[in-house]
Amino acid sequence: MELHITNHAAEVPFSFMVQELLTGNIEKSEAKYAVYKKMRGIAAIDLPDIEAAVSLHFGQGTLTIEPGISPDAAVIIRTQAAQVMDLNALNIRWGLPYYFDEAGRKVIGLLFSGKIKIKGLLSHPVLLTRLTIIMSVM
């Protein structure tokens, strides 16, 4: 298992948390590694409360982390720093995020209340689902 993750966002401390989370998750799971190898596209995470944003550029087995929100990002997750861990707590069942347990219902509630906003939720479901899978610590 070989990960090609490059972090060009050293000035954004949050980028190292994302890099460590993804590296740990993918290295621990053959299934997550298989999902990571299929990923193509750009997803961004924006945390306005701590003035941190990174873009994740996936290229079928490579990931480059860039500072800020790429204008080409297909998926943009905007939330408070505290809610990021709620996203990471989603369980994966049958290869998909599972929204019918406590962690899943909490994320759905955050989406409906507007505390988590996801651009590309409906227009880029494959990229979003794959991102959720590799970010989930479950």
CA distances from 62 to 46, 55, 94, 110 (A): 21, 13, 25, 30
Whether the pLDDT of residue 137 is over 80: the answer is no
- The domain total for the chain is 1
Higher pLDDT, 74 or 135: 74
**Distance between CA atoms of 26 and 50, rounded to whole angstroms?**
26
pLDDT digits (tens, 9 = 90+) for 14-26: 999 999 999 999 9
**Distance between CA atoms of 113 and 36, rounded to whole angstroms?**
30
Whether the pLDDT of residue 138 is over 70: the answer is no
CB within 8 Å of 1: residues ≥ 6 apart: 26, 27, 30, 33
Cβ atoms within 10 Å of 100's Cβ, excluding its own: 10
Confidence of residue 35 (pLDDT cuts 50, 70, 90): very high
CATH code at 24? 3.30.1050.10
Angle at 117 between CA 67 and CA 8, to 5 degrees: 10
Q: Which domain holds residue 25?
A: 4-135
